[in-house]
Amino acid sequence: MLITTLLPLLARYSLGFDLVAGPDDTVTLTIIPRKVDGAADKLESGETRPISLTASAAEIDAELAKGEDGALGQLIAARKTLADQLAEQRQAAEAARTAAAEAAKTKATTPTPKPATTSAQVHAPASPPADAKAEEPASLW
């Protein structure tokens, strides 16, 4: 049951195991996800966090017998979902980088048009109107 439960993780990671006997007939099983040889993507720290179970050997066997419905199976399914989301985000980020690089390349090779000059220019009056009075503010009407 252990290998069947771990198949979703094995598709993405290489797994290491550590089995330690503890006091009162307890056992600690630690599953350590690692980067698969030849994988291009760097793993996030959350992806490589070990999964650790501490219980009696019978309890661990019973939990593993539950398969996908057990706590380990649910944890592995959640990790797989998160890993899939991370992979999608990496692909989207790479696509965005590529698109931005292409847009910058296109913009750099396309000459920028110069703004058109207008022949009509507005001149501000140099002197106040003839009927303006010094003690009154200027009016537009």
- Does the pLDDT at position 29 exceed 80? yes
Distance CA(122)–CA(115), nearest Å, equals 18
| 26, 129, 136 from 133: Cα distances, Å | 103, 9, 6
Digit-coded pLDDT (tens) for 117-126: 655 566 665 6
> Is residue 139 in some structural domain?
no
Digit-coded pLDDT (tens) for 83-106: 778 878 888 999 999 999 888 888
> Is residue 126 in some structural domain?
no
> Is residue 123 in some structural domain?
no
Q: What is the pLDDT of residue 95?
A: 92
Place of tokens 């890993």: 83
Place of tokens 């330690």: 20
> Is residue 125 in some structural domain?
no
> Is residue 121 in some structural domain?
no
Domain that holds residue 58: 2-109
Distance CA(30)–CA(20), nearest Å, equals 8
Bigger pLDDT: 126 or 18? Answer: 18
* Count of domains for the chain: 1
Q: What is the pLDDT of residue 96?
A: 92
Q: What is the pLDDT of residue 122?
A: 60
- Does the pLDDT at position 141 exceed 70? no
Would you say 4 and 68 are in contact if contact means Cβ atoms under 8 Å apart?
no
> Is residue 16 in some structural domain?
yes
> Is residue 85 in some structural domain?
yes
Q: What is the pLDDT of residue 12?
A: 74
- Does the pLDDT at position 60 exceed 80? yes
Q: At what angle do helices 71-109 and 2-10 cross, to 10 degrees?
A: 10
